Amino acid sequence: MLFQIFSKKKTIKLGLYGPANSGKSTLANKISKDWLGEKMSSVSHIPHETREVIVKEKIVIKNKSRELTFNLVDTPGIATRIDYEDFMKYKMTKEKSKQRAKEATRGVIEAIKWLDDMDVVIVVLDSTENPYSQVNITIIGNLVARMIPIIVVGNKIDLKKANLKRVESAFPQYDVVGISALRGRNMEELYESLFKAVR
Amino acid sequence: MGLILRFVPYGDIEILELDEKIKYLLDIVKDKNIVLMGGRLKPEEEAALIQKTMEGISKKFKGVELCTIFPEEKNLDLFRKIKKNFASMVLGNREGLTIIGPASIIKEIKRDPNKIQLFTVSTRR
């Protein structure tokens, strides 16, 4: 059935979802750079850098036998709490922190609204963090309820604190792909998972 | 001041419409209480809860911490899984427990995976 859906569609919407600071925009940049030669999102160590949905159209990825055209949708990180004072810890002014918090709340709402439009989603998790967070469970639960194919990625495997096994044991029903979007590690496996998800 | 835990039986909210259900729960949390709800919200209700939380963020309300625990399904045979999923679809998911607390009080809820730890925000006296 999925094959029929995708074969009728010319361009697939591939969404990047996950909590704040899991590396969605770094991954978006890596995919865009690999196949279009250009970046698409700004990145920062300060959470909620992406506060609007960003779309890069017509990315064509290829393997030996197939090619896949999709619009890549980088979404703001989903969160259940946003406190402007958290941004002030990164030496932002009070005004800028308040503005960022306001935009971040709108971003979360927008990201959730976009869920219905997705054809495939890469759930980007930070493999150095506890995977059993409710945000992760809520994102995956909503994708399952909408019958949207999911690829679970454990990002930041280049860091010492990374624990991919923990991500795998939290989501045993998925083949978790461990990557480092920043260093470009294991991207081939991710692209192959994408071809499998979009049969 | 101590923590106030408010138990909400699933039966109290199951008849409510989505918006009413979310408002009911968020009103309790905005009063600085921690909700202990029997059962769990549907995924789309959890998403709506997050959306409504974001809409309500203000100087006083910083958001929520949310956690659900539910029995492991991996040991159930296929028939029991189907039976359970059907019952959940018809009656709502009454199994498990949902905790929702105000972010100004609950710093973090850790589930790992069968126990829950509530970390509260430290306050100066």
**Enclosing H/E stretch for B40:** strand B33-40
Q: At what angle do helices B43-55 and A134-145 cross, to 10 degrees?
A: 120
Chain A residues in contact with B67 by the CB 8 A cut-off are 134
Model confidence at A152, pLDDT cuts 50, 70, 90, reads: very high
Q: Let me know if residue B62 belongs to a domain.
A: yes
Q: Let me know if residue B51 belongs to a domain.
A: yes
Q: Let me know if residue B96 belongs to a domain.
A: yes
Chain A residues in contact with B103 by the CB 8 A cut-off are 80-81, 83
B110 and A82 in contact by Cβ < 8 A?
no
Number of domains chain B contains: 1
Q: Let me know if residue B114 belongs to a domain.
A: no
The reply to whether B35 touches chain A by the CB within 8 Å rule is: no
pLDDT in tens, A112-139: 999 999 999 999 999 999 998 999 999 9
Pure H helices in chain B: 10-13, 18-30, 43-55, 78-91
* Structural domain boundaries enclosing B62: 4-104
Q: Let me know if residue B116 belongs to a domain.
A: no
Q: Let me know if residue B118 belongs to a domain.
A: no
Chain B residues in contact with A77 by the CB 8 A cut-off are none
Chain A: give the shortest CA distance to residue B49, in Å. Answer: 9
Chain B residues in contact with A18 by the CB 8 A cut-off are none
Lowest mean pLDDT among A18-27, A55-64, B68-77: B68-77
What is this structure's pTM?
0.89
| pLDDT recorded at residue B71 | 67
The reply to whether B97 touches chain A by the CB within 8 Å rule is: no
Closest to A85 (Cα-Cα) out of A98, A102, A103: A98
Q: Let me know if residue B75 belongs to a domain.
A: yes
Name the token pair of B64. Answer: 């929520």
B102 pLDDT above the threshold of 90: yes
Contacts with B109 (C-beta within 8 Å, 6 or more apart), sequence order: A134, B65, B66, B67, B99, B101, B116, B117, B118, B119
Interface probe for A, chosen from B18, B57, B73 (most Cβ of A below 10 Å), is B57
Chain A residues in contact with B55 by the CB 8 A cut-off are 105, 109
Name the residue in chain A with its Cα closest to that of B116.
Answer: A132
Q: Which residue has the higher pLDDT, B89 or B8?
A: B8
Q: Let me know if residue B90 belongs to a domain.
A: yes
Tell me, what CATH number does B94's domain have? 3.30.950
